[in-house]
RNA sequence: CGGGGCGUAGCGCAGCCUGGUAGCGCACCUGGUUUGGGUCCAGGGGGUCGGAGGUUCGAAUCCUCUCGCCCCGACCA
C-alpha cells in the first residue's frame, strides 16, 4: 500500500450531511468518511479509504490464523448444488442461499459457507490419521440473502468473512484445536483494539455441541450479553489468560442467559451490549460422516475426523470497530487498523508551509510512517473537520505561525491532546508515538 | 415474510392536502476574498419530480399498478 497520499488527488468523497438511509453511527460515518458506497441493499463498494481499513483488518486476522497453524486456501465463490444435496443442506438452507443456474442449466449456489467444499477437498486427498490435525482457512466473500440487510456493512448480504475448518483424529484433539482457536480469536480481537467477550452459544444450523460467539462490547450493539466481571479485569492481556479459565467463566448472550441458573449475582454479573463478530463451532463428525470423509487409524480401522468451523466477519468488524471507537466529530481508528497513521495538515497555503510539509511527509515515508497529506486549498476549519471525521490517530498541523517558530503541532485524535514539537525532532517523536 | 415510512439536482430537504409546467441549503464550476475549526461576496451549470398507465385543456401534485430504499420484528459473520 502507498505510504503517502495527497488529498488533492486522493479519492475521498466525504459528506458534510448524513445520507438519510443511514441510522447507525458506523454506517453514517463510513458513508460520510467516503469509505463505502452502497450499490443496493446490503451490497457495497469499498472506496480507497475503506478498503485500506478492510485490508488492515484482514491482514491481522490472517497473521493470527497463520500463527495458530492455519493454512490459507481460497475456495470457489460458486458451489455446486450436488455437494449440498449430498450433505443434506441444499433443501434445508432456505432462501438465504442464493441459487442460480449456469448455461447448461446446472444448479449452482453462491457459497454462504464452505463446510461441504472443504470436506470434499479433505476426502479427496487426506486418507491417514498421520496427516491430522489440519486446519484450513480462507478470507473470502460470502453471500447470504438476508431477509433484511441493515446497518451498512454490519449486516450486509455480501460480506468478507474469514472461515476456518479443522479436522482432528479424536474428540480430545478437536477440543484442543477449539481452545487454540479461542486463544487465537482473543489475540486477534485484542490486536484490533476491541474488547470482546466470548459467550456460550447455540449451535444453530451448523450443528454440534460446543460453540462460542464473540461479541464486541459497544453501546450500540444489537445483542445483550451477560458476563462475569472478571472479563473486565482481563481486558488488557486477555490473550495471556488461560483459555480454560476463560471458558469456565459465565458469559451468555441474551437467549442463552437464564437468570435462575446464573451463578453470579449483583456486582459480579455484568451486562452490556455486544456486536457479534465471530463464531466458533465444534460439531464432531456431522459433515465428515455424511460426506464420507475418512482417515485410516494405526490399527487399520477407519474413522470420520472430528471437525470444527470458525468464522470472523471481517467486513462487519470494520463497522464494529467504528461503533466502539468514535465521537461526535467522527471516527477514532485504533492504530492497528488506521488507514493512515498520520494526517498532515498544512495551513495558510503559503509556499513555505507546503515546502516544509512535503519534506515532513517524505521524512515520515522514509521511516515507514503512512501519511495522508491535506494539501488542498481549503480553510483550516474544513481541513480539521475532515481529519477528525476520517479519524487518523495522529494529526500533524503546520501553519505559518508555527513555522516561524520552527514548531509543528501534534494532536492525538483519541484524547485531543496537543503538543508543539520542534520540526527537527518531529520524525523521531512520531516514531516513538507509533511504536 | 408481516407491520410502518420514504423516493423531487451529487447530498439534505420544501412544494403535493387545495393540479397551472419546479425551488431552497450544502456540494460543484468561474472570478474575487479568507487561512488555527466546515470563511465571505458575485456570477454560473445541473432535475425524464423512481417507473408505467389512467383522469384532466393541463399532473411532482389526483387514481391504479409497479420498482427501489429505509425503519421495527423472526435469522445471521
pLDDT of residue A94: 84
Whether the complex's predicted ipTM surpasses the cut of 0.90? yes
DSSP A337: T
pLDDT, tens only, A153-211: 999 999 999 999 999 999 999 999 999 999 999 999 999 999 999 998 876 555 556 89
CA-CA distance, A303 to A289, in Å (whole number)? 9
Please state whether strand B lies within 7 Å of residue A18 at its CB atom.
Answer: yes
Residue A136 C-alpha cell reads as 484450513
Please state whether strand B lies within 7 Å of residue A316 at its CB atom.
Answer: yes
Please state whether strand B lies within 7 Å of residue A328 at its CB atom.
Answer: no
Report CA(A41)–C1'(B61) in Å, whole number.
29
pLDDT, tens only, A9-49: 999 999 998 888 888 999 999 999 999 999 999 999 999 99
CA-CA distance, A142 to A109, in Å (whole number)? 11
Residue A310 C-alpha cell reads as 470458525
The helix/strand count (H/E) of chain A reads as: 13, 24
pLDDT of residue A263: 86
Residue A202 C-alpha cell reads as 447455540
In this complex, the residue with its CA at the shortest distance from the C1' of nucleotide B5 is A21
Please state whether strand B lies within 7 Å of residue A266 at its CB atom.
Answer: no
Residue A257 sits at φ, ψ, to 5 deg, of: -80, 120
Considering only residues 56-115 of chain A, list those whose CB is below 7 Å from strand B. Answer: 96
SS3 A154: helix
The yes-or-no verdict on residue A430 having pLDDT over 80 is yes
CA-CA distance, A306 to A284, in Å (whole number)? 5
pLDDT, tens only, A287-339: 999 999 999 999 999 999 999 999 999 999 999 999 999 999 999 999 999 99
CA-CA distance, A364 to A426, in Å (whole number)? 9
Report CA(A20)–C1'(B63) in Å, whole number.
29
Please state whether strand B lies within 7 Å of residue A233 at its CB atom.
Answer: no
pLDDT, tens only, A115-167: 999 999 999 999 999 999 999 999 999 999 988 899 999 999 999 999 999 99
Report CA(A289)–C1'(B16) in Å, whole number.
64
Please state whether strand B lies within 7 Å of residue A402 at its CB atom.
Answer: yes
Residue A1, burial from CB neighbour count under 10 angstroms (0-12, 13-18, 19+) = exposed
Report CA(A21)–C1'(B55) in Å, whole number.
34
Please state whether strand B lies within 7 Å of residue A411 at its CB atom.
Answer: yes
Strand segments, DSSP code E, in A49-157 are: 71-72, 78-80, 99-101, 107-110, 134-143
Please state whether strand B lies within 7 Å of residue A212 at its CB atom.
Answer: no
For A253, residues 6+ apart whose C-beta sits below 8 A from its C-beta are: A199, A200, A201, A213, A215, A223, A224, A225, A226, A274, A276
Please state whether strand B lies within 7 Å of residue A17 at its CB atom.
Answer: yes
| Buried b or exposed e, range A189-214, using 16+ CB within 10 angstroms | bbbbbbbbbbbbbeeeebebebbbbb
pLDDT, tens only, A42-87: 999 999 999 999 999 999 999 999 999 999 999 999 999 999 999 9
Report CA(A344)–C1'(B32) in Å, whole number.
28
Cβ neighbours around A137 below 10 Å, total = 26
Query: What pTM does this model have?
Result: 0.96
Mean residue pLDDT across chain A: 93
pLDDT of residue A206: 54
Please state whether strand B lies within 7 Å of residue A28 at its CB atom.
Answer: no
Closest C1' nucleotide to A386's CA: B38
Considering only residues 337-356 of chain A, list those whose CB is below 7 Å from strand B. Answer: 347-349
Please state whether strand B lies within 7 Å of residue A413 at its CB atom.
Answer: no
In this complex, the residue with its CA at the shortest distance from the C1' of nucleotide B38 is A382
Average pLDDT estimate for A257-264: 83
SS3 A284: strand
**Do A248 and A272 meet the contact criterion of CB atoms below 8 Å apart?**
no
Residue A119 C-alpha cell reads as 470436506
Chain B bases near protein CB atoms (7 A cut-off): 1-2, 11-13, 25-27, 34-39, 68-77
CA-CA distance, A31 to A50, in Å (whole number)? 10
Report CA(A387)–C1'(B60) in Å, whole number.
40
Amino acid at each position: 500500500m502507498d505510504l503517502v497520499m495527497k488529498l488533492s488527488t486522493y479519492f475521498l468523497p466525504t459528506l458534510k450531511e448524513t445520507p438519510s438511509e443511514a441510522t447507525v453511527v458506523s454506517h453514517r460515518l463510513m458513508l460520510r468518511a467516503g469509505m463505502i458506497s452502497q450499490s443496493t441493499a446490503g451490497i457495497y463498494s469499498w472506496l480507497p479509504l475503506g478498503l485500506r481499513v478492510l485490508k488492515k483488518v484482514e491482514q491481522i486476522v490472517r497473521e493470527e490464523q497463520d500463527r495458530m497453524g492455519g493454512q490459507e486456501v481460497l475456495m470457489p465463490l460458486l458451489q455446486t448444488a450436488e455437494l449440498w444435496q449430498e450433505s443434506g443442506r441444499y433443501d434445508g438452507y432456505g432462501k438465504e442461499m442464493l441459487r442460480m443456474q449456469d448455461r447448461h442449466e446446472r444448479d449452482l449456489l453462491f457459497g454462504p459457507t464452505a463446510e461441504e467444499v472443504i470436506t470434499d477437498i479433505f476426502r479427496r486427498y487426506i486418507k491417514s490419521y498421520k496427516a491430522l490435525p489440519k486446519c484450513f482457512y480462507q478470507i473470502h466473500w460470502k453471500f447470504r440473502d438476508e431477509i433484511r440487510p441493515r446497518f451498512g456493512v454490519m449486516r450486509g448480504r455480501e460480506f468478507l468473512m474469514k472461515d476456518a475448518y479443522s479436522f482432528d483424529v479424536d474428540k480430545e484433539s478437536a477440543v484442543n484445536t477449539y481452545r487454540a482457536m479461542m486463544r487465537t480469536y482473543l489475540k486477534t480481537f485484542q490486536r484490533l483494539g476491541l474488547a470482546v467477550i466470548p459467550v456460550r452459544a447455540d449451535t444453530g444450523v451448523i450443528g454440534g455441541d460446543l460453540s462460542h460467539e464473540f461479541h464486541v462490547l459497544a453501546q450500540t450493539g444489537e445483542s445483550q450479553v451477560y458476563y462475569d466481571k472478571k472479563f473486565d479485569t482481563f481486558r488488557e492481556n486477555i490473550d495471556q489468560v488461560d483459555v480454560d479459565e476463560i471458558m469456565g467463566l459465565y458469559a451468555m448472550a441474551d437467549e442463552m442467559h437464564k437468570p435462575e441458573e446464573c451463578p453470579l449475582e449483583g456486582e459480579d454479573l455484568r451486562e452490556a451490549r455486544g456486536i457479534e463478530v465471530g463464531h466458533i463451532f465444534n460439531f464432531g463428525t456431522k459433515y465428515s460422516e455424511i460426506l464420507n470423509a475418512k482417515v485410516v487409524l494405526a490399527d487399520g480401522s477407519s474413522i470420520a475426523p472430528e471437525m470444527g468451523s470458525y468464522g470472523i466477519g471481517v467486513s462487519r468488524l470494520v463497522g464494529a470497530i467504528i461503533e466502539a471507537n468514535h465521537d461526535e466529530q467522527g471516527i477514532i481508528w485504533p492504530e492497528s487498523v488506521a488507514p493512515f497513521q498520520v494526517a498532515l495538515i498544512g495551513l495558510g497555503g503559503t509556499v513555505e508551509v507546503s515546502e516544509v510539509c512535503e519534506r515532513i511527509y517524505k521524512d515520515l515515508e522514509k521511516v515507514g510512517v503512512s501519511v495522508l497529506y491535506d494539501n488542498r486549498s481549503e480553510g483550516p476549519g474544513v481541513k480539521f473537520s475532515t481529519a477528525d471525521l476520517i479519524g487518523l490517530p495522529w494529526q500533524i498541523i503546520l501553519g505559518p505561525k508555527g513555522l516561524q517558530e520552527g514548531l509543528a503541532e501534534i494532536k492525538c485524535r483519541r484524547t485531543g491532546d496537543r503538543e508543539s514539537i520542534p520540526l527537527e525532532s518531529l520524525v523521531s517523536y512520531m516514531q516513538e508515538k507509533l511504536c
